[in-house]
Structure 1
Amino acid sequence: MEIAPAPARRTLSGRALMLLVLAVIGPVTLLALLPTTLGLERYVVATGAMDGGIDRGSVVLERVVPVSDLEVGDVITYRPPRSADVNELVTRRIVRIDGALLQTQGDALADPDPWLVPVAEAALPRVVLAIPYAGYPFLGSAPREAWWAMVVPGALLGFLALRGVVRRRPRRAAVRPGGPILGWGPP
């Protein structure tokens, strides 16, 4: 009877672990910090009213521009008038500008919004970039603290990997039938 050695379990090298951590944490960090440094605002599209152009769950990056720079076709995020009975921000496309009033419509909606947006403010956020699916974690029913409970350990793991605290395990000696004993050594 011949005995075959068990295959060695593969562990992640320090470099592979660091790349994995950066692949997970890097985009989240960029999404959180880069817009702020570029003077952009971030919003998550929470409804399907803009589906087809900007789908539900997308993160939109917006730059505040003077109202005089807005044109028909621009996508903006604003708070509807109180008479609209909508208590949250909405992201919509401008379909008509009538002096100091804007008419908006969602890309997935057949009709324009039933309210006109008075342009009392000097500036409004206009969409610069939409990142599909990136906002889905923030649409769930889990409280924000639950998401922090996942981000903080991930960041700690990344820090430890960069500091060299997390190291790969050395290989165990293996015996090959009819061959020499392999000792501990570089991979």
Structure 2
Amino acid sequence: MIKSIREAVSERRTIVNVVGVLVLLAVVAPFIIVGVPQLAGASQSHVVLSDSMSPTFESGDVILVEDVDPASIEEGDVITYADGSGERTTHRVVEVVERDGERQFRTQGDANDDPDGDLVPASAVEGRHTHTLPYIGHVVLFAGSRLGLALFVIVPGALLAVSEVWDLYRAWKRAEGDDDTTDRDGDGDSTGARAAGNGAPEPTEDD
């Protein structure tokens, strides 16, 4: 009976551990992809900072972008490009324009009423949008703030240091207790030997 109960408890613990690992992977995996977008077949990842492409993706989402040959970009594609200052924008191509022998793109945010003012040259295109990771950008931006740095780096580091000190203290106390036990055991053996000696029968003249 007891054995069957132990086996049932052990089985439940195994199930809980497996579920826990799966949940952990589900939580951690998106952040791994943000850091290494190549795992999802993309070349870059970017945090969305505005709602100009709503409802396709929203501010606080993370988008994945793949390298693409500008010649393959068509109307309807969502592209990421950099302007002269290096600022990145991700908007939808609403028109492909051939001008002065160069392929250019007229873009517009899905939430905007009008197209962007300037055409995007092919040389400014960084990639094409492939996937969206909702809400992950909020965590990424928070982690980069002072408070986020404290919560995700400083506090865990301090807790780890406290844990290490506590483990060392417990090990020291355990070793000290073992020494005391050894001393007490040694004293008991000596006393027992003396008692045995005192209790031994005295030789008699008959012997």
Please give the range of the TM-score, normalised by the shorter of the 2 chains: 0.5 to 0.7
Note if contact 1:81-1:117 (Cα within 8 Å) is conserved in structure 2. no
Distance 1:89 1:144, change over 3 A: farther
Please identify which structure carries the higher helix content.
Answer: 2
Taking the aligned partners of 1:101 and 1:144, their CA distance within structure 2 comes to 41
User: Hey, what does 1:166 align to over in structure 2?
Assistant: none
Distance 1:79 1:18, change over 3 A: same
5+ unaligned residues in a row in structure 1: which ranges? 1-12, 158-187
Bigger RCO of structures 1 and 2 (CA < 8 A, at least 6 apart): 1
User: Any idea what SS the aligned residue of 2:54 has?
Assistant: coil
For the aligned residue pairs, the C-alpha RMSD in angstroms reads 3.5
User: Hey, what does 1:93 align to over in structure 2?
Assistant: 92
Note if contact 1:95-1:104 (Cα within 8 Å) is conserved in structure 2. yes
Distance 1:29 1:140, change over 3 A: closer
User: Hey, what does 1:120 align to over in structure 2?
Assistant: 123
Number of positions where the alignment pairs a residue of Structure 1 with one of Structure 2: 140
Note if contact 1:61-1:129 (Cα within 8 Å) is conserved in structure 2. yes
Structure showing greater radius of gyration is 2
User: Any idea what SS the aligned residue of 2:32 has?
Assistant: helix
Deviation at 1:55, TM superposition (A): 1.3
Deviation at 1:124, TM superposition (A): 3.2
Deviation at 1:118, TM superposition (A): 1.7
Taking the aligned partners of 1:101 and 1:18, their CA distance within structure 2 comes to 48
Distance 1:19 1:68, change over 3 A: closer
| CA deviation vs aligned residue, 1:159-186 (integer Å, no higher than 9, x gap) | xxxxxxxxxxxxxxxxxxxxxxxxxxxx
Identity %: 33
Note if contact 1:46-1:139 (Cα within 8 Å) is conserved in structure 2. no
User: Any idea what SS the aligned residue of 1:49 has?
Assistant: coil
Normalising by structure 1, report the TM-score: 0.60
Taking the aligned partners of 2:131 and 2:150, their CA distance within structure 1 comes to 25
Taking the aligned partners of 2:126 and 2:26, their CA distance within structure 1 comes to 34
| CA deviation vs aligned residue, 1:140-170 (integer Å, no higher than 9, x gap) | 495379348516949x99xxxxxxxxxxxxx
1:1-187 equivalences under 5 Å are 15=17, 18=21, 21-33=24-36, 35-37=37-39, 38-81=41-84, 88-99=87-98, 100-120=103-123, 124-140=126-142, 142-143=144-145, 146-147=148-149, 150=152, 153=156
Taking the aligned partners of 2:61 and 2:107, their CA distance within structure 1 comes to 19
